[in-house]
Chains A and B, each alone.
Chain A
């Protein structure tokens, strides 16, 4: 079920009440409730793939014990089995058709005709996320950072906790499992923060992302006839659409988890205020980038074995990250572009420059240098988003070509830009709001005055209701991964 749906509005309070009032006496029963609710939540989309979720959970739970074996050879063998298992599931459902088609084209080019059987079933929602949950659990046990847990229910809750089941954040066993295994106590402040995050997340998704989606779809759907400025606007609009869509989902996930006494990993920290690409990747989809860092980049050697290996590993990470997002060359190109953007920072040892502090941390406004840095980073990221949004490589390339050609050959475009007004109405308040909140994304500040606060929330809710009725109910972009 979607977060922005009537079913979820009914589902959440019912589960909340059962969780805190009916089943709060026993931790086991409370976790069973969470598990049942999570499977119900997932099954609302597709009962067919519940079995796959259960199977993946059971397998990784079992691998956890085998990988903990003191016999390192045996442990390594089961580690590889787990990797093959999880990537195999992912490979079949997500990448099989891509490789089958690519091999067919490759064989065709050398005169060998093939007719591969393609699979025609939907991608199970959340598969990229829950397989990574399982893998991180097994990896952590192998490394000795985590002990295998004997309680299957606890493990199953870790994998399938409904707020993060279908689009993350990708949790770590060391962070979430202890919370599952200990009794949760209701905290008023946490619950209020949760409600605020849910409201703000819904607003970003339903009001901003879905409204920008209309503009983006129109521009990308008719890019051949659009002016250069319109195409630039389309790319900018998509930058904010995907940010609001995904960070909105993450906010709802974090907020919902808080209502049940859980603290999830932060997934977004105002990435468009980044001063370079390295900082961007420490602020965008943090759970995924840190997953790749810990389980792919570091095992490959990271940056410990010389610059050339560091460059190689960086490119591998970004290409794999692109491929994780979709079985298509344009996603790989997107990853490659980011790798190219990261490379100069790596070579000049400037990739860890802005680690500890947020832009203008002790000031109200950024200075000119910071504005320049944020702007150039944003432009780079937006350029790369064109490849992400376009349905394939030829369209992405055509879009960019049209953007440059039309920009310089179309002087009248500067006088009329109808989509600009719509885009600005949504983006400018968002930027201002995010700037105000930039120091802590997990604790949304609100008005000090209680009545002003309530009026603000009521206005937000009315706008939400309006937009829910106004737009088709679109799914979250990251569900397709």
Chain B
């Protein structure tokens, strides 16, 4: 038994050293751009290309966050109205990715203001693309922690991406990527003009709109839908220890150290839109402990209370984004 344990231990140590050594290999931007362009994480490629061009970010309002930023803040509209803006939202949540983008922007450019997305119920720790962007040493030195699922998902994924990166020197299949001018990625509803004769798509859209009708508010102020009874707290302030908040603190400190103005921004969901217009519901989200940031929220979102403005319960569609951005414009001006 002793011989077996010794052998397994030695082998495990050697394997661990190899794995850690491989995980520390830096992956350059070109690989990340090539890997993510023309995929559902295309915004990451777009962001990295944008960061290389400091002039485009200079004095601009930068919006950073998940798909709610990506799909709801129409930066082309803001630019057309004289507010230089860049939408750097990337689908899926992760305060660590938010910080990565902040860090890269601040290293290369001088933005006018940075807006970071404030989630309703607490920040998500880790974005799925982070294993490609930071090695374990970098991750820990920036955030002072690892996500709970680090060993299970992040670390093997890091090895996966590094192996792809190393193999990339042998297999070069660079993709032809044509980045768009603006960062906004508005969601279309299921039925668009070219699909109006598609009965299945129409039926699917009708079913979705019916689902919107099932959203309501309980007497105690919580929301419900026909399928789930989620307890979204509407009015009350709850102070809590979000696990991801230290990551947000790191981002804010870095922004403030550069003297860049900063604010968080709350993006509405359909649950906020059904609240009546007479109610001042500025506090839509659960506040973390010792919360002291500015947060841009509108007094009320009832102007979005129309299911045809929404792609799903959380994301506005292109029409809804235009109306929301219009309100945002009024607020910013």
Contact with B along A448-469 (1 / 0, CB 8 A): 0000001001100110011011
Interface string of A161-192 (1 = CB under 8 A from B): 00000000000000000000000001010011
Per-residue CB contact flags for chain A residues 396-426 toward chain B (1 = under 8 Å, else 0) read 0000000000000000000000000000000
CB neighbors of B among A2-43 (8 A)? 6, 20
Does B289 belong to the interface (CB within 8 Å)? no
Q: Are A466 and B11 in contact (CB under 8 A)?
A: no
Nearest Cβ in chain A — how far from B170, in angstroms? 14
Closest to A461 in B: B15
B160 on the A face (CB < 8 A): yes
Checking B14, B15, B160 against A466 with a beta-carbon cut-off of 8 angstroms, the contacting residue is: B160
The residue that A458 contacts in the complex, of B8, B15, B152, B159, with Cβ under 8 A, is B15
Beyond A457-B11, A469-B157, is A462–B1 a contact (Cβ under 8 Å)? no
Q: CB-nearest residue of chain A relative to B131?
A: A469
Q: Is the CB of B4 within 8 A of A466?
A: no
Which residues of chain A are within 8 angstroms of B22 by Cβ–Cβ distance?
Answer: 462
Chain B interface residue count, CB cutoff 8 Å, equals 18
Are B1 and A20 in touch, CB under 8 angstroms? yes
Residue of B4, B8, B156, B159 most packed against chain A (CB within 10 A): B4
Per-residue CB contact flags for chain B residues 1-41 toward chain A (1 = under 8 Å, else 0) read 10110011001001100110010000000000000000000
Asked whether A217 is an interface residue with its Cβ less than 8 Å from the other chain, the reply is no
Is the CB–CB distance between B160 and A186 below 8 Å? no
- Is there an interface contact between B152 and A466, defined as CB atoms closer than 8 Å? no
Q: Which of B4, B18, B160 contacts A192, CB < 8 Å?
A: B4
A186 to B163 alpha-carbon distance, docked (Å): 37
| Chain A positions within 8 Å of B8 at CB level | 195
CA distance A195 to B19 in the complex (A): 20
Note all chain A residues with C-beta closer than 8 A to B4.
Answer: 186, 188, 191-192
Contact, CB under 8 Å: B14 / A462 = no
Q: What is the minimal beta-carbon distance from A10 to any residue of chain B, in angstroms?
A: 9
Once the chains bind, are B3 and A188 in contact (CB under 8 Å)? yes
Contacts of A454 in B (CB 8 A): 11, 14
Complex contacts, B157 vs chain A, CB 8 Å: 469
Q: Which residue from chain B places its CB closest to the CB of A190 in the assembled complex?
A: B4
B11 lies within 8 A of A465 (CB) = no
Selected from B14, B152, B160, the residue in CB contact (under 8 A) with A465 is B160
Quick check: is A470 within 8 A (CB to CB) of the other chain? yes
CA distance A186 to B3 in the complex (A): 11
Contacts of A462 on B, CB cut-off 8 Å? 18, 22, 159, 163
Are the C-beta atoms of B15 and A6 separated by less than 8 Å? no
- B1 with A466: CB separation less than 8 A: no
Specify which chain B residues have a CB less than 8 angstroms from the CB of A186 in the assembled complex: 1, 4
In the complex with contacts A186-B1, A186-B4, A469-B15 CB distance below 8 A: no
Smallest CB separation, B136 vs chain A (Å): 15
Within the complex, the shortest CB–CB distance from A145 to chain B, in Å, comes to 35
Separation in Å of the A245 CB from the closest CB of chain B? 22
Q: Give CA–CA (A267, B163) in the complex, Å.
A: 35
| A470: contacting residue among B11, B15, B160, CB under 8 A | B160
Q: Which residues of A contact B18 (CB under 8 A)?
A: 458, 462
Task: State how many angstroms separate the Cβ of A290 from the closest Cβ of chain B.
Answer: 32
- The docked-state distance in angstroms from the alpha carbon of A48 to that of B3 is 42
Nearest CB on A from B22, distance (A): 8
Which residues on the B side are within 8 Å of A468 (C-beta)? 156
Bound Cα distance A186, B151 (Å): 30
- Chain A, range 191-247, C-beta contacts under 8 Å to B: 191-192, 195
CB-CB under 8 A from B7, the residues of chain A are: 192
Please give the distance in Å from A89's CB to the nearest CB on chain B. Answer: 35
Nearest opposing residue in chain A for B8, CB measure = A195
A203–B157 Cα gap in the complex (Å)? 18
- Provide the bound-state CA to CA distance between A457 and B19, in Å: 13
Shortest distance in angstroms between B320's beta carbon and chain A's nearest beta carbon?
33
CB distance from A22 to the nearest CB of B (A): 13
The docked-state distance in angstroms from the alpha carbon of A469 to that of B156 is 7
CB neighbours of B14 from chain A (8 A): 454, 458
**Nearest neighbor of B7 in chain A, beta-carbon distance:** A192
Interface residues of A in 361-409 (CB under 8 A from B): none
Q: How distant is the Cα of A468 from the Cα of B159 in the complex, in angstroms?
A: 11
A414-443 at interface with B (beta carbon < 8 Å): none
Residues of B within 8 A of A191 (CB): 4
Quick one: closest A residue to B10, CB to CB? Answer: A454
Q: How far apart sit A412 and B163, CA to CA, in the bound complex (Å)? A: 36
Distance in angstroms from A3 CB to nearest chain B CB is 16
Q: Is the CB of B152 within 8 A of A469?
A: no
Of the A-B pairs whose beta carbons lie under 8 Å apart in the complex, a sample of 27, sorted by A's number, is A6-B151, A6-B152, A186-B1, A186-B4, A188-B1, A188-B3, A191-B4, A192-B4, A195-B8, A454-B14, A458-B14, A458-B15, A458-B18, A461-B15, A462-B18, A462-B22, A462-B163, A465-B156, A465-B160, A466-B159, A466-B163, A468-B156, A469-B156, A469-B157, A469-B159, A469-B160, A470-B160
Known A458-B15, A469-B156; further 12 A-B contacts with Cβ < 8 A: A6-B151, A6-B152, A186-B1, A188-B1, A458-B14, A462-B159, A465-B19, A466-B159, A466-B163, A469-B157, A469-B159, A470-B160
Taking Cβ atoms with an 8 Å cutoff, the residues of A that contact B are 6, 20, 186, 188, 191-192, 195, 454, 457-458, 461-462, 465-466, 468-470
The 3 A-B pairs at the shortest CB distance, nearest first, are namely: A469-B160, A6-B152, A186-B1
